Structure 1
Amino acid sequence: MKSEISIKINDKFKAEYAKGYPLVVKEALENPEVLKSEGSILKLVDKQGRFLAKGYYGLQNKGYGWVLTREENDIVDQGFIERKLATAIGRRKPFFSDSETTAFRVFNGEGDGFGGLIIDYYDGFYLISWYSEGVYTFKDQVIAALQNVADCKGIYQKKRFDTKGQYIEEDDFVTGERGEFPMIVKENGVNFAVYLNDGAMTGIFLDQRDVRNAIKQKYAKGKTVLNTFSYTGAFSVAAALGGAVKTTSVDLAKRSSSKTIEQFSVNGIDFETQDILVMDVFNYFKYAKRKELKFDVVILDPPSFARSKKYTFSTSKDYTNLMKEAIAITEKNGVIVASTNSASFGMKKFKGFIDKAFKELGGKYSIVEEFTLPSDFRVQKEFKEGDYLKVLFVKLG
């Protein structure tokens, strides 16, 4: 049985928790000194000792833990977790019955009622991501609960918190049957090679599913496509299958080249007909300008923060300049797919970055389409930061 700690919430935040805010933030706590061991159950009370909510203590970059229930008599045990998982899986029924998409999110942290815990589905296998030492203390209960409510071929895990050298598993395998990698999953009929046993990343970002499909269905046919910060080339594959005449994928990571070749190959595309460059994106922009290269579609999906030998990139500071670089090598009436996964600002501010870039260059544009997270990435309306993905299809005037 986990120990339970009463934590006092100041008057400023009391109303927020009453409304359903799920993140336990430092500024809300009157007595943070009582927090000792991560994974402890937190009983949130107001200054008069009246019950507000119950959660757990787990340090994340976002805060000190998460609210799990507003019922004082709820016990956070395996049965509690099973109910949360069963509800989440029930919400994804349409995905489970779609043979054209075999990889998606099953449990999205606080959006499904348990912050810090993410579970993704890959063609019968489940991948659990733990975002704090606190949530990791629930490991045995979560795994047992998942096996009780889902038909699991096998379970893998990723620890996305600083383990300080502890908890090192051989290959992230937890239980069940071991997968054969690369595992080929489908997304709207497109094949992707994924690895559940090879470091932090699997080979595909599931949150961009709808964006890739839009590129394939509506924007790629007969076009030249530049995919910057291309990672494993998933956008390039979608564009090629959508009829792009040529794709160019640019990423600084050396592994990106072999990974992109693999993604083209599992879709029967001759990678030698595409350009795959291991190069700093900012150097590529200079090269493209020098060679007077222009593209019909340019995809900008940078990490929130990136550092190379010459450049440091931060979305909140540098996206306008990145957009200006992209505008310079986009054909008239071309489209820039501007994307960010930064949770530190909303769509309105992101649109402001785009607008500023065009104003500074004296150009015209229209936003023809916009996307946020797909439906399997369930978000809680009281926690707007959870809806982190912002994608704009920007057409040059």
Structure 2
Amino acid sequence: MIDVVLKKGKEKAVHQKHPWIFSGAIDKVKGNPLNGEVIRVLAADQSFLGYGYYNGQSRVAVRLLEWEEDNIIDKAWYHSRLKNAIASRAHLLSDLETNTCRLVFSEADYLPGLIVDKYADYLSLQILSAGMENVKAELIEILIAELNPVGIFDKSDANARTHENLEVSQGLLWGATPPEFIEVKENGVRYHINIADGQKSGFYCDQRDNREILAAYTKDKEVLDCFCYSGGFTLNSLKHGAKHVTSVDSSALAIETLKHNLGLNGFMEHQQTSIQSDVNKQLRSFKEDGKTFDVIILDPPKYAPSRSALDRAARAYKDLNRLGMLLLKSGGILATYSCSGAVDLETFKQIIAWAALDAGREVQIIKQFHQPEDHPIRISFPEGEYLKGLLLRVL
């Protein structure tokens, strides 16, 4: 096994179980490891630190897998890690009201670069590191043995693969080809989702808890759901008795899927309005028309994919939330979210404060939103915390 030796004093983060080693922390590489090859990491004094995937083309040169020298990285090791991740979701898998969740969440489950989502009887696989790509066949074999899915579909189409010198990959990996629509349940709400053509892995299961929390505030209310995608917040609001929901998304596929899901759950046309439009433009149009709402949901895509985009993202979040506040009735509820890992909760609160000041509205924080338990956050890897949100009362 090839040894990667760290510079003196650079072993502290490894001892603290942080899974990333940046290229600048490496003193020397004893050999020529291939991208994704498992290597041994040593401190400057040659003491053992861990095993990890090496990638000489990535800023994150090593993704650590194991800190115990006696634990060899082989098929049995992957099987154990996958079994542990699946077992930790056992209570979610047995929930009769929900049959979709995240089974593996990359570094949080000690499997860097691997994401597995369950959609009813199908699995969606995202591989984002060269190391996991090298053992894809073994991973599929283990998932089949543990879960007996009808099919496994590859959704490894994220930009992160380019940093690992990997081409995007999408298509059937094993079993039956998913139908045009797979029916899943979440919180008792039914969805038809399209794994092959949908965004990311097909469905945003990271908002499961937040949809139900927010829905409790929508009974008999006029609701505006922005960036609605396939209708998670819209459908939960209608289920909890919203008077009317207006849903806005720029994607024609999202609006088409939402309309399909409305019929699937038996909601009537007079209960909901779908608008395909740029959200910011639509919010300005509502303002010009004097339209107001009791509850507004802002769940935009990732505005800050990295820290270098933070300033631009902050301006975008501020303008979006300012427009939302201007459309709320006095005492109305604003549920606002950020899925940008580069924007921490305190920064997000400051952005909301700026938006409130510009809108001339006073705001109270009444709840804070987080990612659900199937998207755990390792205490040694705070970078895994990406989803945050605020439930606000706008006065």
Q: Which of 136, 150, 155 in structure 2 is aligned with 1:153?
A: 150
Structure 2 residue 53 is matched with structure 1 residue 22: no
- AA aligned to 1:46 is A
- 1:186, CA displacement in angstroms? 0.5
8 Å CA contact 1:370–1:390 kept in 2: the answer is: yes
For 1:340, give the aligned amino acid. Answer: S
2:85 matched residue in structure 1: 88
Amino acid at match of 2:374: D
Task: Select 2:282's aligned residue among 272, 280, 284.
Answer: 284
What letter corresponds to residue 370 of structure 2 in structure 1?
Answer: T
Structure-to-structure mapping, 1:103-114, within 5 angstroms? 103-114=100-111
Aligned equivalent of 1:124:
121
1:315 aligns with one of 302, 313, 316: 313
Query: What's 2:324 paired with?
Result: 326
The answer to whether 1:352 aligns with 2:350 is yes
SS in structure 1 of the partner of residue 351 of structure 2: helix
What is the alpha-carbon distance in structure 1 between the residues aligned to residue 232 and residue 31 of structure 2? 46
> Partner of 2:373 in structure 1?
375
Say if 1:297 and 1:11 are closer, same or farther in 2 by CA, change over 3 A: farther
Indicate the residue corresponding to 1:201 in structure 2. 200
Shift of residue 74, structure 1, vs aligned partner: 2.1
Q: Following TM superposition, by how much is the alpha carbon of 1:233 offset from its aligned partner in structure 2, in angstroms?
A: 2.2
**Deviation string, structure 1 residues 296-350 (Cα, Å, up to 9, x no partner):** 11111111239xxxxxx95334212221111111111111111011011311111
| Cα distance, 1:386–1:61 mapped onto 2, change above 3 Å | farther
Q: Distance in 1 between matches of 2:258 and 2:250?
A: 13
Following superposition of structure 1 onto structure 2, how do residues 196-235 of structure 1 map, counting pairs within 5 Å?
Answer: 196-198=195-197, 200-216=199-215, 218-235=216-233
Distance 1:149 1:367 in 2: 43
Could you tell me which residue of structure 2 aligns to residue 394 of structure 1? 392
Structure 2 partner of 1:144: 141
Q: Unaligned regions of 5+ residues in structure 2, if any?
A: 305-310
Equivalent residue, structure 2, for 1:310: none
Aligned to 1:248: 246
SS class of match (1:7):
strand
Secondary structure of residue in 2 paired with 1:219: coil
Distance 1:70 1:151, change over 3 A: same
> Percent same amino acid among aligned pairs?
27
Which stretch shifts more, 60-69 or 344-353? 60-69
1:260 — aligned with what? 258
Give the Å deviation of 1:59.
7.9
How far 1:40 moved relative to its partner?
0.6
Equivalent position to 2:293, from 267, 292, 295 = 295
CA shift for structure 1 position 118:
0.7
Contact 1:101 1:188 (8 Å CA) reproduced: yes
User: Structure 1's 165 and 136: CA in aligned 2 closer, same or farther, altered over 3 A?
Assistant: closer
Q: TM-score, normalised to structure 1's length?
A: 0.90
Give 1:170-185 correspondences, 5 Å limit.
172-185=171-184
Q: Displacement of 1:167 after TM fit?
A: 6.9
Q: What residue identity is the alignment partner of 1:197?
A: A
In structure 2, what is the Cα distance between the partners aligned to 1:297 and 1:60?
47
The residue aligned with 2:307 is: none
Return 23-32 or 280-289, whichever deviates more: 23-32
In 1: Cα distance, 2:328 partner to 2:335 partner: 11
| 8 A Cα contact 1:367 1:392, kept in partner | yes
Q: What amino acid is aligned across from residue 321 of structure 1 in structure 2?
A: D
Contact 1:157/1:174, CA 8 A, preserved across alignment: yes
Aligned length: 386
Query: In structure 2, what is the equivalent of residue 47 of structure 1?
Result: 44
Cα–Cα, structure 1 residues 200 and 27, in superposed 2: closer, same or farther, change >3 Å? farther
CA distance, structure 2, for counterparts of residue 61 and residue 372 of structure 1: 30
Q: Distance in 2 between matches of 1:168 and 1:395?
A: 44
Tell me how far apart the structure 2 counterparts of residues 98 and 41 of structure 1 sit (CA, whole Å).
37
CA RMSD of aligned residues (A): 2.5
Change (3 A) 1:168 1:70: closer
